[in-house]
Structure 1
Amino acid sequence: MVKIRLARGGAKKKPFYLIVATDSRKRRDSGYYIERLGYFNPVAHGQEVRLTIEKDRFAYWTSKGAQISDRVKQLVKEFKDPSIYEKRVAT
């Protein structure tokens, strides 16, 4: 089964996540994935881009039956409506 989930990269204390379509039997950080769909940088500052997702490829994989992890669902919702993140940070 194909899953859309996060794969961690980056350095110690500086995480960086790829949003990937991968086989659910593979380990999270194995380096093996079918396709990279975007990335998420939780420690972005200033002009750095925090989140990007290729909408057309994401739609393709979901149409093929790929399961989406809970965190990626939240990120997709945030990508569609950036004010969600701004509200969360403001409180």
Structure 2
Amino acid sequence: MSSPIMSVAEKTAYKRNMVKIRLARFGRKHQPIYNIVVMKAKKAQQKLPMEVIGTYNPIPVPSSGNDSGLKIKDVSLDLHRTKYWLGMGAVPTPRVTWLLKKVGLLPQFWPKTSALSQHIDKPVVEEIRETQELPVDYVRKRD
């Protein structure tokens, strides 16, 4: 059997999903800090990334100078490099997408593809075949 030939659009979509923007954890026990990294999709989390584009501290720290008690989660991000990688087709993970929305780099209603929105062009069953029943005479009898 020959393998199906991918169209140009399918090849482009396949290559786009090869690079992801995701979080890589470092820091101490109970005090995580995450690097926002650009990595190949199949690489392990602790491997060397292609580029580190920012950091994220999920532990809220009190803001300096205010006595209001407002605690802030720290996100530092290189916006130019992030825009570059998004333009190159890097796909952010859901948590990084949430962070990019909070920073204002992505719109609030970032498009999500759901399984219901995908259209199936080919019919599920190609053709219905009729089966023939064997006569009882051909069935071997038990002893």
One-letter code aligned to 1:33: P
Give the equivalent residue in structure 1 for 2:81: 57
User: Which is richer in helix?
Assistant: 1
CA deviation map 1:45-75 (0-9, x unaligned) = 1248610111110010011111110000000
Mapped to 2, the partners of 1:52 and 1:79 lie a distance apart of: 9
TM-score by length of 2: 0.52
Q: Which residue is 1:76 aligned to?
A: 100
Aligned to 2:125: none
Match of 1:24 among 18, 37, 41: 41
- 1:2 aligned residue: 19
Distance 2:59 2:36 in 1: 16
Q: CA deviation at 1:26?
A: 0.9
For structure 2, the 5+ residue unaligned runs are: 1-17, 65-71, 106-143
The alignment of Structure 1 onto Structure 2 pairs a total of residues equal to 80
Q: CA deviation at 1:16?
A: 0.3
- 2:58 is matched with 42
Structure of greater Rg = 2
Q: Highest relative contact order (Cα 8 Å, sep 6+), 1 or 2?
A: 1
> What is the TM-score normalised by the length of structure 1?
0.80
User: How large is the RMSD of aligned CA atoms in angstroms?
Assistant: 1.7
Shift, 1:79, TM fit: 1.3
Specify which structure has the higher proportion of strand. Answer: 1
Identity %: 35
2:53 maps to a residue whose letter is L
| Deviation per residue, 1:15-35 (Å, 9 max, x gap) | 0000000111111122x1000
